[in-house]
């Protein structure tokens, strides 16, 4: 689930009230509140709604959840950020938020594609290749090493140097290939990024990272959740497992049929979330018939701040919307961030045909 942006005028008392409201909703068993716990409270990540609802929660649990929703690891850290008026810093581009001059210099060499100076700078500063920089106020790219910057995801410059694959190889040869966490995370950023695809280097970077030890499975759902089908197919060619959710997202009906009987409920839900994004209507119908719930918030990895119907509406897939509604999808459920229904999403996105369809149903 994307984190919320902390407003520049954030007030700690208002944030406390948010936590109290969340705790009240948790105790009522509200589905949105349970989803927020599942996504942001470390002890709830693998639990079903009923299991979360059976737990006992205090205000401290709600405060922690609120802090992590805003991209901070704890409530004390969020309080400090508010007190320091640090919320505005998240509007700066990542380069401007780095205070380490040695890291900034090596990042400039990466951005410029200056292979010789990059190699020399890394040699002159042993350990720099795996040094982390820290960015608060987000839910990804919060502790990257140099390798993760080769994906240009998040977008800093909107472009990559022509020799970015060679630049990545230099970083890997300088010691990044020994860092499994960085390898896997960089792979996910490449697989889900727009700039690498537009620059024509997606396949080459994915291949290089996997050849150096990145796990192709680590990036599959990230690629599919962002609609990067070509990246997903490349990952499969590089050894990623072709499971129910990937088969559903890629429209492989035969594979879905073969895997569906043994699939868990969570696998079906993730498959539904990803199939909806790609308008795989036949597979959507199969998953719904097999027990996937059209009114449950999407699981982590599948845009978990909204329901499958929200996702179908946002992508403009009228046929998928109809499949979901015919199977009982409610269009009065609000998303988690704004409590906005799928109908309101359709209006906001300008999908007039979907708006007309909802109005016909209401009439």
- Residue-wise pLDDT for 136-158, tens only, equals 777 788 899 999 999 999 998 89
Distance CA 289, CA 253 (A): 14
167: three-class secondary structure by DSSP: helix
Q: Count of domains in the chain?
A: 3
**Is residue 277 situated within a structural domain?**
yes
For residue 269, the model assigns a pLDDT of 94
Distance CA 209, CA 205 (A): 6
Q: At what angle do helices 115-124 and 164-173 cross, to 10 degrees?
A: 20
User: Among residues 42, 66, 88, which one ends one of the domains?
Assistant: 88
118 and 162 housed in the same domain:
yes
357 and 295 housed in the same domain:
yes
Nearest by Cα to 176 from 109, 131, 142? 131
Please count the residues of the chain.
363
For residue 306, the model assigns a pLDDT of 93
Nearest by Cα to 190 from 230, 249, 132, 161? 230
In our burial notation (b when 16+ CB lie closer than 10 A, e otherwise), range 283-299 reads bbbbbbeeebbbbbbbb
- pLDDT tens for 210-250 read 999 999 999 998 999 898 999 999 999 999 988 899 999 99
- Asked if residues 311 and 298 have their Cβ atoms less than 8 Å apart, the reply is yes
User: Among residues 69, 88, 107, which one ends one of the domains?
Assistant: 88
Nearest by Cα to 242 from 254, 255, 225? 255
For the entire predicted model, the pTM comes to 0.77
- Asked if residues 336 and 297 have their Cβ atoms less than 8 Å apart, the reply is yes
167 band by pLDDT with thresholds 50, 70 and 90:
very high
Mean of pLDDT over the chain = 90
98 and 127 housed in the same domain:
yes
Distance CA 264, CA 194 (A): 32
Distance CA 183, CA 236 (A): 17
Q: Exposed, middle or buried by CB within 10 Å (0-12, 13-18, 19+), for 97?
A: middle
- Asked if residues 131 and 145 have their Cβ atoms less than 8 Å apart, the reply is yes
CA 333, distance to chain mean position in Å, is 22
- pLDDT tens for 241-274 read 888 999 999 999 999 999 998 999 989 999 999 9
Q: Return the CATH number at 341.
A: 1.25.40.20
**Helix/strand number for the chain, H first, E second:** 21, 0
**Is residue 7 situated within a structural domain?**
no
- Asked if residues 82 and 11 have their Cβ atoms less than 8 Å apart, the reply is yes
- Asked if residues 243 and 236 have their Cβ atoms less than 8 Å apart, the reply is no
CB count within 10 Å of CB 239 equals: 10
69 and 138 housed in the same domain:
no
DSSP single-letter state for residue 302: S
152 and 193 housed in the same domain:
yes
**Which tokens belong to 333?**
């459920």
User: Among residues 66, 88, 110, which one ends one of the domains?
Assistant: 88
Distance CA 279, CA 287 (A): 13
**Is residue 186 situated within a structural domain?**
yes
93 band by pLDDT with thresholds 50, 70 and 90:
low
For residue 85, the model assigns a pLDDT of 58
42: three-class secondary structure by DSSP: coil
**What is the chain's alpha carbon radius of gyration, rounded to the nearest angstrom?**
22
256 and 210 housed in the same domain:
no
**Is residue 26 situated within a structural domain?**
yes
- pLDDT tens for 295-332 read 999 988 788 899 999 999 999 999 999 999 999 999 89
Residue 91 has pLDDT above 60, yes or no: no
Residue ranges making up the domain that contains 74: 12-88
78 and 105 housed in the same domain:
no
Q: What is the dihedral of CA 105, 81, 338, 28, to 10 degrees?
A: 130
**Is residue 2 situated within a structural domain?**
no
């Amino acid at each position: 689930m994307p984190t919320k942006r902390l407003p520049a005028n954030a007030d700690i008392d208002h944030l406390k009230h948010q936590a109290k409201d969340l705790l009240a909703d948790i105790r009522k068993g509200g589905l949105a509140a349970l989803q927020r716990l599942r996504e942001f409270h470390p002890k709830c990540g693998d639990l079903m709604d009923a299991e979360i609802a059976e737990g006992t929660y205090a205000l401290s649990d709600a405060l922690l959840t609120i802090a992590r929703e805003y991209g901070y690891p704890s409530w004390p850290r969020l309080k400090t950020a508010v007190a320091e008026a640090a919320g505005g810093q998240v509007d700066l581009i990542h380069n401007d938020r780095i205070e380490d001059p040695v890291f900034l210099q090596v990042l400039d060499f990466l951005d410029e594609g200056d292979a010789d100076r990059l190699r020399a700078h890394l040699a002159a500063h042993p350990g720099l290749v795996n040094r982390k920089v820290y960015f608060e106020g987000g839910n990804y790219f919060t502790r990257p090493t140099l390798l993760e910057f080769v994906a240009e995801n998040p977008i800093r410059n909107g472009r990559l140097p022509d020799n970015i694959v060679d630049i990545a190889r230099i970083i890997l040869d300088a010691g990044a290939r020994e860092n499994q966490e960085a390898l896997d995370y960089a792979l996910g950023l490449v697989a889900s990024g727009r700039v690498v695809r537009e620059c024509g280097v997606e396949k080459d970077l994915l291949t290089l990272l996997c050849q150096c030890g990145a796990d192709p499975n680590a990036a599959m759902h990230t690629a599919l959740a962002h609609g990067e089908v070509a990246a997903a197919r490349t990952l499969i060619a590089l050894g990623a497992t072709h499971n129910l959710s990937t088969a559903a997202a890629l429209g492989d009906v035969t594979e879905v049929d073969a895997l569906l009987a043994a699939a868990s409920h969570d696998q079906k839900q993730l498959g539904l979330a990803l199939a909806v994004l790609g308008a795989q209507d036949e597979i959507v119908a199969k998953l719904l018939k097999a027990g996937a719930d059209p009114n449950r918030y999407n699981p982590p990895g599948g845009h978990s701040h909204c329901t499958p119907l929200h996702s179908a509406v946002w992508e403009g897939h009228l046929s998928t919307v109809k499949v979901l509604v015919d199977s009982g999808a409610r269009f009065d459920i609000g998303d988690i961030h704004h409590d906005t229904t799928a109908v309101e999403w359709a209006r906001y996105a300008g999908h007039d045909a979907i708006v007309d369809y909802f109005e016909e149903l209401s009439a």
